Chain A
Amino acid sequence: MTINWFKYASPASFYFLAGRMLPYFTALAITLLIVGLYIGFFVAPTDFQQGEAYRIIFIHVPAAWMSMFLYVVMAFWAGVGLAFNTRLSSMVASAIAPTGAMFAFLALWTGAWWGKPMWGTWWVWDARLTSELILFFLYIGFMSLQAAIDDPKRADKAGAVIALVGVVNVPIIYFSVQWWNTLHQGASVSLVQSPKMATAMLSGMLIMTLAAWMYSIVIILIRTRLIILERERHTAWVSELKEGVLE
């Protein structure tokens, strides 16, 4: 059986496909979240060095991973939209940005909460935290640029350029922050300290990562559907949808 992928590249068919997929991903996200949190809070053993406070990594680490992963995914779809002029991919890219920024912010926030009991200070200029902060800035830049442009076509393309420039720069920024950090040895504290993690810790973290992944898919699908409705509000199919003709 061959699937006609281009069929789903049209915003209208994607809208309905996404609508059908949403319940499954929502169910997956909730289940994984409950299982992951249960393992994180009740199954995983107390860390002998860090006590109970370490449990924040079950949110912190997945959030940090997702924020980086989503930036690459966003730049990929934005780039596809720029190269092949596919409107849907640009819409997906715009839908990803707020979720990515949210995860970057969450990673910074939980990093601070963890830092206070661990290092006795809310913020250290650790290489990873600093890179995460810059990643957060890059998300903000992408969103502000798109918000400032009224014409959606120009907003899509301009956003794509800045996302791609960001992707080229992320490794350079990461590398330079690492270098900077080793130069200023004072504040270097590694976030994941214990080399041997208990299996329960590791599996909890992986399940939480999957949960974050599913959550991202759910939110991005919902947001893409909203963007589609907004952009296509003058088309026939959206009017029919409003009148309840289509289901």
Chain B
Amino acid sequence: MLTARNLECIRGEHKLFSNIFFSVNPGELMFVGGPNGSGKTSLLRLLCGLSSPDSGEILWNGMDIRDLDGDYRGMMTYLGHLGGIKDDLTALENLRISCALADCEIDENQAADALGQIGLAGREMLPAKVLSQGQRRRVALARLLVVQTRLWILDEPLTALDTAAVKLIKEILEHNLSKGGMVIMTTHQEIVMTAAAVHHLTLS
């Protein structure tokens, strides 16, 4: 269970948000909404531990994520709006390396399988620089098919995806939720998903 208590985030002299309370239980989904510049990305970066809140605390099963450190990171997958895709590497190499970084090494067949499932069959060996924006996004999202983490924190995962891909991602996320996983995501697109509970957090 991920719990946030009284979170506050200040950027420079500007207070992005404060008094944020929520908790997400296994099987639950939380949408983070709000206009541009309201601090959605900053909140997600706090939740995954890239930066620390100016006040308040973030707890994973009752323990501060900063104390859990590597154990927490082993439980969580974050996909930022930068996908971590290298132009000069092929789709396959990109996927294998990003999985290795998440401490979940896969061989070429597993990687090719995942890429096939996400609709990139036949493009595994192309360097990422010739792929379209949506295809690059798919390479980044293919990691979700492989990792075994409980908590997924996704920043605008649906950007640049076509309707078929959106449907596919929806299925992947619902599968994770049905297994007792948790998803926290931002999106500008309307998307309906089944989950044990769906929370909406709107930043202003």
Contacts and interface: CB of A to CB of B under 8 A. Distances in A.
Verify whether A and B have any Cβ pair under 8 Å: yes
A151 B13 CA distance: 10
A234 B12 CA distance: 11
Interface string B5-29: 0000000110000000000000000
Contacts of B12: 150-151
Interface string A138-180: 0000000000001100000000000000000000000000000
Contacts of A234: 13
Contacts of A151: 12
Contacts of B13: 234
Nearest to B13: A234
A151 B12 CA distance: 6
Contacts, number: 3
Contacts of A150: 12
Interface in A191-237: 234
Interface residues of B, number: 2
B67 to A, nearest CB: 15
A86 to B, nearest CB: 15
A150 B12 CA distance: 8
A155 B115 CA distance: 42
A150 B13 CA distance: 11
B64 to A, nearest CB: 14
Nearest to A233: B13
Nearest to B10: A153
A236 to B, nearest CB: 14
A29 to B, nearest CB: 35
A148 to B, nearest CB: 16
Nearest to B11: A151
Nearest to A85: B52
Interface string B97-115: 0000000000000000000
Nearest to A150: B12
Nearest to B52: A85
B52 to A, nearest CB: 9
A85 to B, nearest CB: 9
A99 B13 CA distance: 28
A234 B13 CA distance: 8
A68 B116 CA distance: 63
Nearest to B12: A151
Nearest to A152: B12
A241 B13 CA distance: 19
Nearest to A231: B13
B12 to A, nearest CB: 7
A150 B11 CA distance: 11
A59 B57 CA distance: 52
Nearest to B54: A153
Nearest to A234: B13
B11 to A, nearest CB: 8
A158 to B, nearest CB: 14
B7 to A, nearest CB: 17
A234 B14 CA distance: 10
Nearest to A151: B12
Interface in B64-104: none
A158 B115 CA distance: 40
B173 to A, nearest CB: 34
A35 B12 CA distance: 47
Nearest to B15: A234
A150 B14 CA distance: 14
Interface string B108-138: 0000000000000000000000000000000
A195 B13 CA distance: 57
Interface of B: 12-13
3 contacts: A150-B12, A151-B12, A234-B13
Which 3 pairs show the lowest CB-CB distances between chains A and B? A234-B13, A151-B12, A150-B12
